[in-house]
Amino acid sequence: MFSQVVEMASLADFDILRDTRQDIRSLPWAQPSNREATNLYFGVKRANEEILRLNVEIRRLISYMFDSHCQLYIEIQARLFTDPNIAHELSIHWQLSQKIYMEIAEQLVKTSKLHGFSGSLLLGHRAGHQNVRKGGIPLPVWMTDVLGLVRDNSSTDDSNELDCEDDEQLCEFVEYVDNL
């Protein structure tokens, strides 16, 4: 059924287009190869726009995941002695979210290895959001083991930028993107 509809969608199959004052089937835009080339052109154009958008969204996702990790860590620590039941429930939620974030991080690493990847797997900073990235909060396992990042304690400012640990190619990539 679907294949019949697709076949009928071709301009040559519509009698009403043949019986007009001018036979539009002979115009350049009506040729199947020209229409296919146009569709491919706009598909590539949209794909390039999507790549640019994903470069932003991937970094936002990593930042959100880390901020969520930090916020839950702070909340658990704050309630550990005052309300252990809430701390326990938050801890369960935190453990579940870390498993989910581990899977997401693994997929992001796979994405970063695709030919043409031009994004960054480093943290960003949410505008207008309180910085919860304090020095005492341990980095999540998905960030250290999967993304291969460690906290840079040598910087004097409180930005808590991350450096590459062992992956030399990742370091080179990050340096390249930073220099753009």
The domain segmentation of the chain, as residue ranges, is: 24-178
- The confidence score (pLDDT) of residue 174 equals 52
Q: What is the CA radius of gyration of the chain?
A: 26
Taking the CB of residue 143, how many other CB atoms lie within 10 A of it? 23
- The tens place of each residue's pLDDT in the chain, 180 residues long, gives 666 665 555 544 555 555 666 667 677 777 788 888 888 888 888 888 888 888 889 999 998 999 899 889 999 988 988 999 999 999 999 999 999 999 999 999 999 888 878 888 888 877 776 665 556 788 888 988 888 776 554 433 433 344 444 345 545 555 554 554
Phi, psi of 161 (to 5 degrees): -65, 160
3-state SS class at 3: helix
Cα angle 62-66-71, degrees, rounded to a multiple of 5? 145
User: Under 8 Å CB-to-CB from 126, ≥6 apart: which residues?
Assistant: 60, 63, 64, 67
- Quick one: pLDDT at residue 152? 52
From CA 91, how far away is CA 80, in angstroms rounded? Answer: 10
User: Do 72 and 134 touch, CB atoms closer than 8 A?
Assistant: no
Beta-strand relationship, 149-151 and 162-164: antiparallel
Nearest to 133 by CA among 73, 78, 58, 59: 73
* CA neighbor of 134 nearest in space, from 159, 170, 116, 168: 159
Which H or E run contains 105? helix 84-112
8 A C-beta contact, residue 148 and residue 113: no
**b/e per residue, 96-113, with b = 16+ CB within 10 A?**
eebeebbeebeebeeebe
